[in-house]
């Protein structure tokens, strides 16, 4: 029997056959993907991601991509000789920084992803939360416990927003028109201000508003790990809450997990935290039995 790429024809048939129930089940479903981390900078991973998204669209799913770009913003600010500071995981954003954030996310990063997907045969359209009134935002209140004061101290992080409401018509129109929406996490405030919003938060809320089948967060870690470092592959909401209370889920993973919990509580069928450093992570998670990373069930 001939062997190509280490697979026999029987292996190949088996793999394609394994994908069939997933293709059938998710046909017509919306899958919101937060694209960030290594998968957004490594050339090989970028190409694989783009191919996975195009494949999802061609078999009848509606992938909607929300992208990050924190490191890219940081690099540009550094090249401009500007300092940047994070408080509680949020970039302190004054008016000048906001201009750079909008330029990098809405301009450079967004168009690079559009171009990447289109080169692989997709029909991507780049948007920010300003387009079609997609994301209305309000100022995010950040508080910090202070040992001296009775009440938590309120910290002004500038033009950092949280999602107030999503007006998804523009995304739905693109989905039905066979386009793939690529969204930069920028919102508009009540007085027309431009707000910088954490990309995970935007992806989570958008998944709820679109009644998505899945929310997938591409990260640079294998998923949620137990205290022995083993990957937890499938969890329900009660188990996740247990791991938060006993400190197993902590640090930078907490806001991502909270965003997944909000999404599933808001009607998304499942939320996935997957390892974007694995080649074709998205393909493996959506189309195979094994998946990669942690699945949180609704
Ligand atoms: C983020 C927006 C981009 C983002 C920032 O300025 O870096 C805030 O911190 P990653 O790559 O997913 O971290 N916004 C408020 O979320 O990018």
Which ligand 1 atom is the nearest neighbour of the CA of 37? Answer: 11
Confidence (pLDDT) at 4? 66
Structure tokens given for 4: 């190509």
Q: Which of the two residues, 91 and 11, has the higher pLDDT score?
A: 91
Ligand 1 binding pocket mutation candidate from 33, 68, 205 (most atoms within 8 A of CB) = 68
Cα gap 32→6, rounded to integer Å:
33
140 lines ligand 1 (CB under 6 A): no
Predicted pLDDT of residue 2: 65
Stretch 230-236: mean pLDDT, rounded? 95
pLDDT (mean) for 44-69: 97
Minimum CA distance residue for ligand 1 atom 2 = 198
Atom of ligand 1 nearest to the CA of 67: 12
Q: Whose CA is nearest to atom 13 of ligand 1?
A: 70
Q: Does the C-beta of 40 come closer than 6 Å to ligand 1?
A: no
Ligand 1 atom 10 nearest Cα: 68
pLDDT digits (tens, 9 = 90+) for 150-171: 888 889 999 999 999 999 999 9
Give just the sign of the alpha carbon dihedral 91, 97, 103, 108: negative
What pTM was estimated for this model as a whole?
Answer: 0.95
- Write the pLDDT tens digit of every residue in 9-53: 898 898 889 999 999 999 999 999 999 988 999 999 999 999 999
Q: At what angle do helices 43-58 and 110-119 cross, to 10 degrees?
A: 60
Q: Is the CB of 69 under 6 A from ligand 1?
A: yes
pLDDT in tens, 183-201: 999 999 999 999 999 999 9
C-beta of 100 in contact with ligand 1 (< 6 A): no
Q: Is the CB of 92 under 6 A from ligand 1?
A: no
Cβ(91) – ligand 1 distance below 6 Å: yes
Distance (Å) from CA 193 to ligand 1 centroid:
18
What is the distance between the alpha carbons of residues 70 and 239, in angstroms, rounded to a whole number?
A: 30
- Tokens standing for residue 273: 């935290």
What is residue 152's predicted lDDT score, i.e. its pLDDT? 85
Our answer on whether the CB atom of 32 is closer than 6 Å to any ligand 1 atom is no
Q: Which atom of ligand 1 is nearest to the CA of 101?
A: 6
Q: Who's near 194: CB < 8 A, 6+ residues apart?
A: 98, 102, 130, 159, 186, 187, 188
Q: Is the pLDDT of residue 1 over 60?
A: no
ipTM over 0.90: yes
CA 13 to ligand 1 center in whole angstroms:
41
Residue 291: what pLDDT? 78
CA 185 – CA 202 distance, rounded (Å): 6
Q: How far is the CA of 70 from the centre of ligand 1 (A)?
A: 4
**What is the pLDDT, as a whole number, of residue 156?**
93
Residue 219: pLDDT band with limits 50, 70, 90: very high
Residue 141, both tokens? 């209140």
Q: How confident is the model at residue 3 (pLDDT cuts 50, 70, 90)?
A: low
User: 3-class SS at 120?
Assistant: coil
Average pLDDT, whole number, for the chain? 94
Rounded to an integer, what distance in angstroms lies between the CA atom of residue 35 and that of residue 69?
9
Nearest CA to ligand 1 atom 5: 70
The answer to whether the CB of 219 is under 6 A from ligand 1 is no
Measured in angstroms, how far is the CA atom of residue 61 from the centroid of ligand 1?
A: 27
Question: Please, where are the H alpha helices in 27-135?
Answer: 43-58, 70-79, 95-101, 110-119
Segments of the chain assigned E as strands: 30-35, 62-67, 86-87, 90-91, 124-128, 135-139, 142-144, 153-155, 161-166, 180-184, 186-188, 194-196, 214-219, 234-235, 270-275, 294-297
Helix (H, G, I), strand (E, B) or coil at 91: strand
- Report the nearest atom of ligand 1 relative to the CA of 40: 11
Q: What is the mean pLDDT of residues 86-98?
A: 95
């Amino acid at each position: 029997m001939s062997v190509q790429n280490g697979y026999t024809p029987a292996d190949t048939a088996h793999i394609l056959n394994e994908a069939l129930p997933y293709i059938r089940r998710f046909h017509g479903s919306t899958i919101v993907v937060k694209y960030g981390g290594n998968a957004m900078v490594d050339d090989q991973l970028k190409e694989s991601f783009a191919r996975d998204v195009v494949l999802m669209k061609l078999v009848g799913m509606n992938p909607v991509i929300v992208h990050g770009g924190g490191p890219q913003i940081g690099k540009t600010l550094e090249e401009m000789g500007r300092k940047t500071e994070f408080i509680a995981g949020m970039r302190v954003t004054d008016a000048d920084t906001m201009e750079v954030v909008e330029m990098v996310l809405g301009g450079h990063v967004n168009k690079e992803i559009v171009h990447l997907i289109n080169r692989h045969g997709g029909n991507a359209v780049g948007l920010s939360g300003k387009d079609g009134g997609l994301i209305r935002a309000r100022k995010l209140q950040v508080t910090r416990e202070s040992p001296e004061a009775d009440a938590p101290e309120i910290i002004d992080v500038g033009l950092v927003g949280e999602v107030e409401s999503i007006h998804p018509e523009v995304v739905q129109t693109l989905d039905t028109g066979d386009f793939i929406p690529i969204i930069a996490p920028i919102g508009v405030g009540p007085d027309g201000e431009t707000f910088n919003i954490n990309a995970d938060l935007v992806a989570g809320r958008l998944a709820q508003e679109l009644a998505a089948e899945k929310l997938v967060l591409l990260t640079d870690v294998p998923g949620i790990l137990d205290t022995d470092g083993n990957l937890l592959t499938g969890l329900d909401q009660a188990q996740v809450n247990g791991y938060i209370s006993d400190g197993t889920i902590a640090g930078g993973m907490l806001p991502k997990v909270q965003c997944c919990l909000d999404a599933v509580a808001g009607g998304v069928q499942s939320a996935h935290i997957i390892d974007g450093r694995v080649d074709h992570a998205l393909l493996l998670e959506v189309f195979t039995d094994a998946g990669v990373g942690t699945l949180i069930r609704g």
